[in-house]
Structures are given as C-alpha cells and as structure tokens.
Amino acid sequence: MDVTLLKIAAIFYLLATAGYIVYLVLQRGFFSRLAPVLLLFGFLVHTLALAVHFFQTGFPAVTQLREAISLYSWLMVGAYLLVQLKYHLTVLGSIIAPLAFLISLAGFTLGAAPSELSPELKTYWLAIHVTLALLGNAVFALAFGVSVIYLLQQYELKKKRNPVLFKSFPSLETLDRLNYVLLVWGFPLMTLGIITGTLWAGTHWGEYWSWEPRQISSGITWLLYGALLHGRVTAGLRGRKAALWTIVGFAVVLGYFLLGASLFPTRHGGKFD
C-alpha cells in the first residue's frame, strides 16, 4: 500500500512541476497558487505513505537506500513548503518540485525492500542518524535551488534583458541572504548526522571511522560546506562565488547519494547508514 501511495505522491510532484513551469512562462497568479497546493497534496500523500510503512514494519523508512531516497524527497518538499510560508519564494518550487519527482522516481528503480529487518538495523540510532543527515542535505537542496536562481538572475541583469520569465525572481540581495540562512541551518544538521552516524558505527562495528567511501564522501562534503560557511562569515564570500560553491557542494551530495552505493560497494550494502 505504501508503494501505491508513493506513486500517487510522485504524480502530484509531477503535476506541481507542470504548474510551476506554466506559472514562470505565463506569470499568472492562479498557477502561482495552484502549484504549491499540488506540491502540498503530494507531500501529504507522501506523509501517509511513510506512516503506513511505519505501521506495517514497526520501524521508520530509513534502513534501505530506496527508503532513504523516499525520505529525502519528503524532507526536501517539507523544507521548501516551510520556506515558502516565510519567504513566498514560489519560483524556488520550479526547481524543488522536479527534483522531488526525479528523486522519487529513482527510488522506484531500486525495487522492493525486504519485509524483515536484520537485528542490527533495529535501532533508533540509525533512524536519528539518517534523518538528521538527510534533513541537512534537504536544506542544501534548497540552497542549491536558490543559487541556481541567483545565477540566472545575475546573468539576465548583466545582459540588461527583462524577459517575462524573470519578473517573478527575487532580488540578488534577497537570494544571497537566503542562501546564507539555508547554509546556517543545513551545516549543523549535517554535522549532527555525521556525529550520530559515527557513534552508531562505533556501537555497531566497534570502530567509529573506517574510511569507507560513504564516510569519506560525507567528510569531504562537510569540509566543503564548512569552508563555504566560514568564508561567508569571515571573508565576505558572497554572490556568484558563494552560489557556485553551493551548487558544487550539492552536486557532490546528490551524486554520491544516488550513485555511490553502486559505484563503490561497501559493507553498508544497500542500506543508507
């Protein structure tokens, strides 16, 4: 049942994507209201799917890569809806909605998860670790979207063009400020995810750090975002450079998240832990 609900949620994400695209092209207020509503419906159905999974298995949907992918898209959409309430950044939805759809679609390609959990996975340390790590990455996804919008807006301003498409874009100052706010929230969440994962690894395997590809990738990403945030706070890193580094960081996160398990098999196997 939860798989059927996930497919329905993905359909809503796709419809929301279409709504955002139409809004950007036509600049009609109706679509600026419709697209977030469709995304919200998708989020609510997705929430129901995660709840059904929990009641069926007795454990949160975090133990397999396909489950982590589903949880990631859910957290990303939820984080965007919260940002939308405060900043009314409808244009950001045109990036988050298709991302949520494509990531959800990627989860379906991995097949069904086993019905019975192995004993070592029945610990809430794993749920806490995965949720914190994915929540930090979800916030970075929003920062990525804001950075893409910033670069597009800056390019159009330099060309001194004013097409209808860009009339709904916020100012460069607003986008740069929001990028910073998202980094401030995302970095501590990612840090807590790494710390809880290290503690769980020490309990589960007897060693806190084993230099596996997933751990190395997490460490590199943490250093990259840490350097970016440090540069923004102490060295005045702003604007285009900050946007570009944010995009690079997210590319590393998403690339390893989706491809790392198949390219670099580890003792984690198909689990996202």
Tens digit of each residue's pLDDT (9 = 90 or more) over 211-269: 666 777 778 888 989 999 999 888 788 889 999 999 998 888 877 766 655 554 555 54
> What is each CA distance from 126 to 10, 46, 199, in whole angstroms?
26, 21, 10
**57 lies in which domain range?**
2-263
Residue with structure tokens 């590199």?
220
Average pLDDT value for residue range 50-75? 85
In a domain, 269, yes or no: no
In a domain, 271, yes or no: no
Q: What is the pLDDT of residue 182?
A: 94
**Residue type for position 56:** Q
In a domain, 270, yes or no: no
Please tell me the chain's helix, strand, coil percentages from 3-state DSSP, rounded to the nearest 5: 80, 0, 20
- Work out how many domains the chain is built from and give that number: 1
Average pLDDT value for residue range 29-55? 91
User: pLDDT (tens digit, 9 = 90+) per residue, 129-153?
Assistant: 889 999 999 999 999 999 999 998 8
Share of the chain above pLDDT 90, in %: 39
In a domain, 273, yes or no: no
In a domain, 42, yes or no: yes
φ and ψ of 266, to 5 deg: -135, 180
